[in-house]
Amino acid sequence: MSGPREKDEVSGVETTGHEWDGIRELDNPLPRWWVWLFYACIAFAVVYWVLMPAWPGVHGYTHGILHNSARATVAEDLRALAAQRGAEGAKLKSASLEQIEADPKLQAYALAQGQSIFGDNCATCHGQGGTGGKGYPNLRDDVWLWGGKLEDIQHTITVGVRSGDPDARMSQMPAFGRDGMLPATQIDDLTEYVVALSHRKADAGSVARAAPIFQAQCSACHGPEGKGNQAFGAPNLTDADWLYGSDRTSIHDQIWNGRGGVMPAWGHRFDAATIKALAVYIHVKSGGGQ
Amino acid sequence: MTVVINTVGSGSHKKVTGKGGGSSSGSGGSGGELYKKREPIYPKLVHGRWRTIKWLVLVATLGVYYLLRGVRWDRAPNAPNQAVLVDFTHARFYFFFIQLWPQEVYYFTGLLVVAALALFLVTALFGRLWCGYACPQTVSTDLFIVVERLFEGDRNARIRLDAAPWSFDKFWRKGGKHFVWLLIAVATGGAWVFYFDDAPTLMKNLFAGTAPMTAYISAAILTLTTYSLAGGMREQVCTYMCPWPRIQGAMLDEHSLQVTYRVDRGEPRGAHKKDASWEGRGDCVDCKQCVVACPMGIDIRDGAQLECINCALCIDACDEIMGKVGRPAGLIAFDTVAAVLAREVGQKPQYKFVRSRTLYYGIALALVSGIMLNGLMTRSSVAIDVIRDRNPTFIRLSDGEIRNGYTLKLMNRSNSGTTYKIDFVGPAGARVKAVGAESGAGALSVDLGPDGQRSLQVFVTAPIGDDQPHSVPAKFVIHSPAGSAEKKTVFLSGDEGR
C-alpha cells in the first residue's frame, strides 16, 4: 500500500496491485447500500452476542440473555417424540397380535419399533440380522425351540428361557457323559444314532446298539422319532438345523455336556406394547409362520 | 464485452467509461472512496414497438402469476382440485394432468436443465431477452415505475420533485407511491403461498388469522423483497446481486443479436440544425433520449455493457427522434457486433444464426427436452421398488430349502384404488409369501388405495442344491388394471458368487 496507487489506463480505475498473467484487478468501490448492509451485519452480530450463547470462556461460555440451549431444545423434542409415540403405541396396547400383523399401518409401526428394540437388546446374542450363532437360536428360519406362533414368541420374550423367572421356559438336557450317566462307548453310539436321524450316513452297528438307549434316555423329550417337542423346548434332531453344530464332534460334545443357554425375561424391563411390537417384528421377519 | 466493442470503429468516437454508467461516468473510484454513491435513475416513458411488447409480456407473466392459483382441475374426489399445487403435507406436486411424487424429483431437475439450456440458446441468439422482458425483477420494477409515474409524473417531474423541499404535495405523492407499492408487494408475496395450499381455503384462513405461521412468514418475506427489490434496489439488483449478467456474458459472441448503437451510421455525432445538411456527419443528434429512457442508467452508445438488459427501450426512444429529424429508424437496433464491424469497412453484414455455439445449445436442449417428454409420456402409475434383505442375505430352512427376504415398496400413483398381482420370476420351484397379503396361484394379491403406497415384507423359498449357482437373477412383476411394472433383483443361496 505504499506509494501512489496504479491506475488502469482504459477505465481510469485504481487497481488493487494484484496481477495474474497480465490481468490486473480493478479496485472499484462497493455500492453504498452494500457497505450499509455490512455495518448492519456487524450490528446484528453484537445484538446476537447479547441474546444468544456466543463467547467461550475458561470455565464455560456466555449464555446470552435468552438462555437459548440446543441441548434443552433436543430434550424438549425428545419429550414431544415420547408423547407422540405414546399416542401411536396406544393402538399397540389394545390390538391383538394378529390384528397388529394384519393391519399394514400397525404392522409397519410395530416393525419399525421392533427393529430398534431388537437392535438395542436382542442383537447382542441373536445378531443384528437375527440369525443367531452357535448356542444362540436363529430367529429368521422356520425352526422354533419354544414355538413360532405369535403368542409363543410373545411368551418366550416375556418370561425368558432358564431366566430365573418363576414362569420361565425351562428345560434341561442332561450331561450324560460329564455326570457319568452313560458310559463313553454308549455316547459314541448315540452320536452315530443322532447323525443317522438327520438322514446322514452313519455306522450301522453303532445305530443298532444305540436304538434302545435312545428310546430309554432321549425319547421322553425328543420323541421316539427324534422330532423334538416344543412344549419342553426339545430340538428336532431330524432336520438340518443344529443349535450347537451338526458335525459328530459337536453332537458328541452336546450329549456329553448337555448345554442350555439362558435368555433374560424381558417382561421385567419392557411394557406389554413393546413386547408385542418385538414379537410381531420377529414373527414377520422369520417368514410370518411359514 | 467492453473490450470487444472497443475494437469496433476508429476509436475517435469512443467515449469509454469505467463502469459504462452514462450518468455516473468518472465516479469510478478515482478518489479511492470506501463506497460509491448510487446515482438515481429516472427512466422516461417511451412509446414504440418494444415498449408495447414489454407491456404485453408484463401483463401475461403477472397475469399467470396472480391468477393461475384460481384455476381448478378436476382429478378425483380424494385429490385436490387446484391446477397447480405443491402439497408439502402429502408430498405431492400437481400440475394440471401431471401428478408427481417426491421420488420423481428428477423431473424438476430436468426442468431446470431445460430452462438453463433454453436461456443459453436464447441468449446466444438474441442477447439477454430474459433480463429485459421476462425476469420477475424486470417485470416488477416496470410495474413499480408505472405507479411512480402515476404519483410523481414522468422523468422531469420526478427530478424536480426529488430536488424540491418537503411540502404537502411532495409528501402525499411520495406516501401514495409507497402505499401502492406496498399493496402490490403484499399481493405479490401473498400470491406465492397460494401455490402451496388450497387457494380459496388459505385465503379465508389468512384473513381469519388461522393460516399456518409458515404462510404468514413466507408472504411477509416475499412482500419485503418485492417492495425493496422492485421499489428501492431496481437496477442495483441486476448490476451487483444477480449472477446471470456475468454468466450470460459468456453466452454472447460477435454474432449474437443485441441492442446495438450502430456507430457506423451514428458517428460523428452532434447537434443538428433543421434543414442543415447530413453530409459528412453521423445520424446521431446527441439528443440523449436513449440515455434518459434507459432503466439501467447507461449510455448504449458506449457499446455493449454489463449493465445492459437488452430491453430495447432506447430503440423506441431513438426511432421516435429519427422520425422527427427525418432520418431512417434503426440507429439503435437489434444488431450484431460482426455486422457493425462489416459495415464500418464497407462490407455487407452477414448474420449467422447457426453457429457451433447455438448448434450445441440447440442439440442439448432438444435432447434433454426429448428425454423429459419421453419420461413423462411413458410414466406409469404403477411403480415398485425392491429392497433385498441384506442381513441375512439368505436363510437355510430346516428342510434344506433356501429362503430370501425382500421388502417391496408398492406405489399406486393413480387416483383410484386398485389391486396389484405380484409375480416372482426366478429359480425353479420358487414360492412367494408375504405377511399380510393373500397369495394364491403363486402370485401375491395386494390392495392399494388411491394415490397410495405400501411396503410389504416378501419371502421367496426355493429348493437350491449346493451345486447350483449361488446367485440367480430374478425379478418382481406387477400386473394391475392400470398397467404393469417390473424390478430386477437376485436370489442368493451362498456367500460366494458362483
Q: Which domains does chain B have, with CATH numbers?
A: 382-492 (2.60.40.10)
pLDDT, mean of residues B251-266: 90
pLDDT score of B450:
85
Q: Which of B278, B185, B195 is nearest to B227 (CA)?
A: B185
Confidence of residue B14 (pLDDT cuts 50, 70, 90): very low
Give a yes or no: residue A134 inside a domain.
Answer: yes
CB proximity list for B496: less than 8 A, separation 6 or greater:
B470
Write the pLDDT tens digit of every residue in B326-362.
889 999 999 999 999 999 888 888 899 999 999 999 9
Write the pLDDT tens digit of every residue in B375-395.
888 888 888 899 998 888 888
Q: Could you identify the residue written with the cell 439501467?
A: B296
Specify whether A121 is located in the same domain as A240. Answer: no
pLDDT score of B16:
39
**Cβ–Cβ below 8 Å for B16 and A107:** no
Q: What is the DSSP letter of B383?
A: E
Specify whether A98 is located in the same domain as A221. Answer: no
pLDDT, mean of residues B40-68: 94
pLDDT, mean of residues B192-220: 91
The dihedral of CA B437, B439, B443, B448: what is its sign? negative
CA distance A130 to chain B (A): 8
Residue B46 pLDDT > 90: yes
**Cβ–Cβ below 8 Å for B38 and A29:** no
pLDDT, mean of residues B411-426: 87
Give a yes or no: residue A253 inside a domain.
Answer: yes
Give a yes or no: residue A131 inside a domain.
Answer: yes
Nearest to A107 among B17, B392, B436 (CB): B436
pLDDT score of B268:
86
Range of the domain at A121: 73-162+264-285
Specify whether A114 is located in the same domain as A156. Answer: yes
**Cβ–Cβ below 8 Å for A140 and B392:** yes
Q: What is the mean pLDDT of chain B?
A: 86
Give a yes or no: residue A28 inside a domain.
Answer: no
Q: Considering only CB atoms, which chain A residues are within 8 Å of B435? A: 101, 107, 283-284, 287-288
pLDDT score of B448:
85
Which grid cell is B209?
Answer: 388469522
CB contact B352 to A (< 8 Å): no
A12-71 residues touching B, CB cutoff 8 A: 12-14, 26-35
Count of beta carbons in the 10 Å neighbourhood of residue A4: 6
Which grid cell is B395?
Answer: 436363510
Q: What is the DSSP letter of A266?
A: G
Specify whether A201 is located in the same domain as A128. Answer: no
Say how far apart CA A29 and CA B28 lie, in whole Å: 7
Beta carbons of A271 and A158 less than 8 angstroms apart: no
Specify whether A195 is located in the same domain as A252. Answer: yes
- DSSP per-residue codes, A189-222: HHHHHHHHHTT----HHHHHHHHHHHHHHTHHHH
Higher pLDDT, B404 or B468: B404
Give a yes or no: residue A176 inside a domain.
Answer: no
| Domain count of the fold of chain A | 2
Confidence of residue B246 (pLDDT cuts 50, 70, 90): confident
pLDDT score of A3:
58
Give how far the C-alpha of residue B386 lies from the chain's centroid of Cα atoms, to the nearest Å: 35
pLDDT, mean of residues B208-227: 92
**Cβ–Cβ below 8 Å for B403 and A141:** yes
Higher pLDDT, B51 or A101: B51
Specify whether A205 is located in the same domain as A239. Answer: yes
**Cβ–Cβ below 8 Å for B405 and A285:** yes
pLDDT score of B476:
92
Say how far apart CA A253 and CA A109 lie, in whole Å: 43
Nearest to B18 among A13, A104, A288 (CB): A13
Give a yes or no: residue A4 inside a domain.
Answer: no
pLDDT, mean of residues B461-469: 84
CATH of residue A248: 1.10.760.10
Specify whether A93 is located in the same domain as A235. Answer: no
Give a yes or no: residue A172 inside a domain.
Answer: no
Specify whether A157 is located in the same domain as A273. Answer: yes
Write the pLDDT tens digit of every residue in B61-114.
999 999 998 899 888 777 888 999 999 888 889 998 888 888 888 899 999 999
Specify whether A122 is located in the same domain as A197. Answer: no
Specify whether A156 is located in the same domain as A270. Answer: yes
**Cβ–Cβ below 8 Å for B29 and A241:** no
Residue type for position B59: V
Say how far apart CA B197 and CA B216 lie, in whole Å: 13
Specify whether A217 is located in the same domain as A241. Answer: yes
SS3 B453: strand
Least CA distance to A138: which residue of chain B?
B395
CA B131-B135-B139 angle, 5° bins = 110
Nearest to A142 among B392, B397, B435 (CB): B397
**Cβ–Cβ below 8 Å for A14 and B233:** no
Specify whether A228 is located in the same domain as A272. Answer: no
Count of beta carbons in the 10 Å neighbourhood of residue B154: 14
- Per-position pLDDT tens, chain A of length 290: 455 677 887 777 888 888 888 888 888 888 888 899 999 999 999 999 999 998 998 988 888 898 888 899 999 999 998 888 777 778 888 889 988 888 888 888 899 999 999 999 999 999 998 989 899 999 998 899 999 999 999 999 999 999 999 999 999 999 999 999 999 999 999 999 999 998 889 899 999 999 999 999 999 999 999 999 988 899 999 988 899 998 999 999 999 999 999 999 999 999 888 999 999 999 999 887 65
pLDDT score of B29:
42
Give a yes or no: residue A64 inside a domain.
Answer: no
